[in-house]
């Protein structure tokens, strides 16, 4: 049985001045040949007194309102043979990713998009979050450093499935993973105002999986439900590419890759390989941070952990695909099902 590390497992030195901000015109439209342009300015300086990267400016173009990257091409993971990037087939289905997205993920371990979640969807998701935290307070607990979290959010609010399987996010996840994916875990997290010292707890949730073309066993969707800016709490990571050696020492990775603070308006989505070094960054602020954090894995791999109970209404669902997606049952889901007299498949997969 696999496991993962909490977002804030421990203390980490915080003498750094690091940020990543985005700008540029975001043009709507999915018509072939209609390109958008986004500028990413990344200042990575003096982490632990070391110079990680000089100020750089990257220019990307592609489809949709891309932020940190963008780009077309299917990723396939067949018989562990590696990464394949093909041109988009001439179909009515528009992919969520662009070629630039794919390449950025290969060389950085993450992508950021602010155009996948509509304004109406965002308002709905924020309402679900607020009502869950208000009406199901007994399932919210202290988590990590200065956080509250509900990891049984699918049990308390089954409608969070709309976040888990948001069509654009889900399509991107499947493409990056290279095949059918399963639910791993869901965390609804809240960080309130804070007047303490800046805090980071750098960690990797899972080891790299060398057999996968992106070295990725699990991928996480980080959905911001509140605006995240340089003066608020944020999610941070240290970029790494699949061609780079894996550095198990955190300080060595931070020296090589630096630190990127992920900023964005409410509705921004960050997809990242959970083997990439990352942390929640807690800083003095009067602002609140609300996030939904969902893990996705490969259907033929071990469950992630036992933090989230998978409700039977999903793994016993009448729809085959819903049943398959939620059917990689962890031990706690099996235990709860058995305690309520529910029959489980012999292999633990619904």
Domain boundaries, the chain: 17-308, 309-320+329-350
**Would you state the structure tokens that stand for residue 25, as one six-digit string?**
């015109």
| SS3 assignment for the chain | CCCCCCCCCCCCCCCCEEEEEEECCCCCCCCCCCCEEEEEEEEEECECCECCCCCEEEEEEECCCECCCCECCEECCCCCCCCCEECCCCCCCCCCCCHHHHHHHHHHCEEEECCCCCHHHHHHHHHHHHHHHHHCHHHCEEECCCEEEECCHHHHCHHHHHHHCCHHHHHHHHHHHCCCEEEEEEEEEEECCECCCCECCCECCCCCCCCCCCCCCEEEEEEECCCECCCCCEEEECCCCCCCCCCCCHHHHHHHHCCEEECECCCCEEEEECCCCEEEEECCECCCEEEEEEEEEECCCCCCCCCCCCCHHHHCCCCHHHHHHCCECCHHHHHHHHHCCCCCCCCCEC
Q: At what angle do helices 167-177 and 99-108 cross, to 10 degrees?
A: 60
Reference 16, options 231, 258, 344; nearest CA is 258
The structure tokens 């750098």 sit at: 202
Residues linked to residue 24 through DSSP beta bridges, in sequence order: none
pLDDT of residue 56: 31
Q: Give the rounded distance of the alpha carbon of 36 from its chain centre.
A: 23
Asked if 88 and 73 count as a contact pair (C-beta separation under 8 A), the reply is: yes
CA distance 300 to 347: 12
Asked if 328 and 1 count as a contact pair (C-beta separation under 8 A), the reply is: no
CB atoms within 10 A of CB 311: 19
Which CATH superfamily includes the segment(s) 17-308? q2cbj1_9rhob like domain (2.60.120.620)
Q: Give the rounded distance of the alpha carbon of 269 from its chain centre.
A: 7
pLDDT of residue 303: 96
pLDDT of residue 52: 31
Reference 235, options 248, 250, 224, 243; nearest CA is 224
pTM of the model: 0.76
pLDDT of residue 94: 81
Asked if 52 and 258 count as a contact pair (C-beta separation under 8 A), the reply is: yes
pLDDT of residue 281: 97
Asked if 161 and 317 count as a contact pair (C-beta separation under 8 A), the reply is: no
Per-residue pLDDT of the chain (350 residues; tens, 9 = 90+): 445 555 554 433 333 333 333 333 222 332 233 233 333 333 332 222 222 332 232 222 233 334 443 333 334 333 333 333 333 343 346 888 999 999 999 999 999 999 999 999 999 999 999 999 999 999 999 988 999 999 999 999 999 999 999 999 999 999 999 999 999 999 999 999 999 999 999 999 999 999 999 999 999 999 999 999 999 999 999 999 999 999 999 999 999 999 999 999 999 999 999 999 999 999 999 999 999 999 999 999 999 999 999 999 999 999 999 999 999 999 999 999 999 999 987 665 66
Instruction: Give the contacts of 91 (CB within 8 A, at least 6 positions apart).
Output: none
Asked if 221 and 173 count as a contact pair (C-beta separation under 8 A), the reply is: yes
């Amino acid at each position: 049985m696999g496991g993962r590390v909490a977002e804030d497992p421990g203390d980490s030195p915080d003498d750094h001045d690091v940020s990543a901000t985005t700008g540029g015109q975001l043009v709507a439209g999915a018509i072939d040949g209609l390109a958008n342009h986004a500028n990413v300015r990344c200042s990575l300086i003096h982490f632990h007194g070391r110079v990680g990267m000089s100020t750089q400016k990257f220019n990307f173009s592609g489809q949709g309102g891309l932020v940190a990257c963008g780009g077309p091409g299917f990723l396939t993971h067949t018989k562990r043979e590696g990464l394949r990037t093909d041109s988009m087939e001439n179909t009515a289905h528009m992919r969520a990713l662009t070629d630039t997205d794919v390449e950025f993920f290969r060389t950085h371990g993450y992508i950021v998009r602010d155009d996948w979640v509509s304004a109406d969807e965002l308002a709905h998701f924020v309402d679900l979050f607020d009502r869950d935290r208000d009406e199901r307070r007994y399932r919210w607990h202290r988590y990590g450093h200065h956080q509250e979290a509900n990891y049984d959010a699918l049990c308390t609010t089954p409608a969070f499935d709309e976040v888990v399987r948001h069509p654009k996010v889900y399509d991107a996840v499947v493409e990056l993973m290279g095949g059918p994916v399963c639910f791993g875990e869901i965390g609804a997290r809240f960080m309130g105002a804070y007047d303490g010292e800046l805090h980071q707890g750098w960690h990797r949730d899972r080891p790299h999986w060398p057999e996968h073309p992106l070295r990725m066993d699990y991928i996480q969707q980080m959905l911001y439900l509140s605006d995240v800016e340089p003066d608020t709490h944020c999610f941070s990571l240290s970029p790494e590419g699949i061609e780079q050696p894996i550095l198990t020492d955190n300080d060595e990775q931070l020296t090589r890759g630096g630190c990127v603070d992920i900023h964005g308006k409410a509705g921004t989505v960050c997809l990242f390989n959970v083997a990439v070094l990352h942390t929640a960054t807690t800083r003095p602020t009067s602002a609140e941070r609300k996030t939904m954090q969902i893990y996705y894995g490969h259907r033929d791999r071990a469950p992630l952990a036992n933090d989230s109970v998978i409700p039977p209404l999903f793994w016993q669902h009448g729809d085959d695909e819903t049943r398959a997606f939620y059917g990689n049952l962890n031990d706690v889901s099996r235990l709860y099902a058995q305690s309520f007299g529910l029959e489980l498949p012999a292999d633990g997969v619904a």
